[in-house]
Amino acid sequence: MSGFVRSPGRNPINFSDLAHPLEASSGLASLRFVMGRLKKVAPGRDRRGHSVRARAGERLLSSSTTDSSGRFLLEWRDDGRHEETAIELIDSRGDVSESLELTAADLLSPPVVIFSGERVVGFGRPSKDIDGEGGFQAEGDYPLCVTSSCLQATLSWTAPPGSRVSIISDGGMVRAGLPPQGILSVLEDRTRRYTRRVWPAGAGPGQYSEKTLEVKRYPSLSLVVDGRTFETGSSVEFGASTSCPAGGNGLTVRVATSDSATVPPFELTMPAGSKWASTRVILGRKTGLAEVTAFAQGYARDAVFLALE
């Protein structure tokens, strides 16, 4: 069984060290997600097109495939059952190649799941991104691209000379009257499908072809510190950045550590509308290594390893 990388022999994160542990919201079902990637695949095998799924018992919660960088994003509505969720990498025979169990608490600020991909049987079968009517890509990927919410993604396309092109999303028309070849930046806070519609030269209103891709997006959080090795007892500035601005009530980022005697837990408060917060922390007097992990409800967590000397 494989999951997000944690070095052997180190203490696990102690969530009880958090001043205010993350709590599940009550009421209506909310969106849950898990983002991950394949670390590597066997030589000669494409990282694109491998199947991944989220499962709670016998219930399939979500399924998707990897993009050309090996990234995947699973999304589903939480029904409040608080069951353990299995994230599974599926090989070409339909068997589970690697898996990781996550609790309901894990999903409040989910880890980035890293599968080795070493035991993937067969290879992903990427969809053809260029046909007789040209190509369509998002950040150079087709038919799937995984990226952070609220960041620009570039759509690019080609079509036969003299064609008319429109870009449509599941939210409606994005841009009409485009040239046969071009690029268009799109910025969304959630997953969207985009369709390139092409009318060849001389075609009537209903004589068009379409090609559709999906840009999957997730709210990301980054823990920022200048350096990885520090002296015990020193004062170090930690920062946190998010892909989307904090909402009207701001955002609390809670930081836990695998060894509180090395790096104590702390919090950062991001003001409403901001994407950045920072604070200074006095490190402990104990030498050694510590994994420092930032959490914020609804954002993928981030972690760094620090060494104190």
Which residue, of 218, 244, 263, is where some domain finishes?
Answer: 218
- Whether residues 209 and 240 share a domain: the answer is no
**Above 80 in pLDDT, residue 276?**
yes
Distances (CA, A) of 122 to 16, 41, 63, 216: 43, 10, 19, 25
CATH of the domain at 97: 2.60.40.10
- Please report whether residue 4 resides in a domain: no
Query: Which one, of 303, 279, 295, lies nearest residue 10 by Cα?
Result: 303
Cis ω before 12 (30° cut-off from 0): no
pLDDT digits (tens, 9 = 90+) for 22-39: 554 443 348 899 999 998
- Please report whether residue 173 resides in a domain: yes
Distances (CA, A) of 79 to 25, 26, 82, 174, 216: 12, 10, 8, 33, 22
- Please report whether residue 251 resides in a domain: yes
Which residue, of 163, 192, 218, is where some domain finishes?
Answer: 218
- Please report whether residue 7 resides in a domain: no
- Whether residues 188 and 242 share a domain: the answer is no
- Whether residues 90 and 164 share a domain: the answer is no
**Above 50 in pLDDT, residue 154?**
yes
**Above 70 in pLDDT, residue 44?**
no
Do 169 and 193 meet the contact criterion of CB atoms below 8 Å apart?
Answer: yes
The pTM score is 0.87
Rg (the chain; Cα; Å): 22
The 3-state DSSP composition of the chain as helix, strand, coil percent (nearest 5) reads 0, 50, 50
Interacting residues of 226 by C-beta distance below 8 A, sequence separation 6+: 237
Which residue, of 82, 115, 148, is where some domain finishes?
Answer: 115
Reported residue count of the chain is 309
Number of domains present in the structure of the chain:
3
Could you say which DSSP state residue 260 is in? T
Query: Mean pLDDT over all residues of the chain?
Result: 87
Do 292 and 271 meet the contact criterion of CB atoms below 8 Å apart?
Answer: no
- Whether residues 230 and 186 share a domain: the answer is no
- Whether residues 183 and 269 share a domain: the answer is no
- Whether residues 27 and 109 share a domain: the answer is yes
- Please report whether residue 6 resides in a domain: no
- Please report whether residue 8 resides in a domain: no
- Please report whether residue 56 resides in a domain: yes
- Please report whether residue 226 resides in a domain: yes
Q: Which percentage of the chain shows pLDDT scores above 90?
A: 73
- How far apart CA 247 and CA 273 sit, in angstroms, is 6
- For residue 255, the number of C-alpha atoms closer than 13 Å in the C-beta half-sphere is 29
Q: What is the side-by-side strand order in the sheet with 130-131?
A: 130-131, 134-138, 152-158, 181-187
Largest Cα span, the chain: 76
pLDDT digits (tens, 9 = 90+) for 232-268: 999 999 999 999 999 999 999 999 999 999 999 999 9
pLDDT value, residue 43: 65
- How far apart CA 122 and CA 141 sit, in angstroms, is 21
Q: Which domain holds residue 40?
A: 15-115
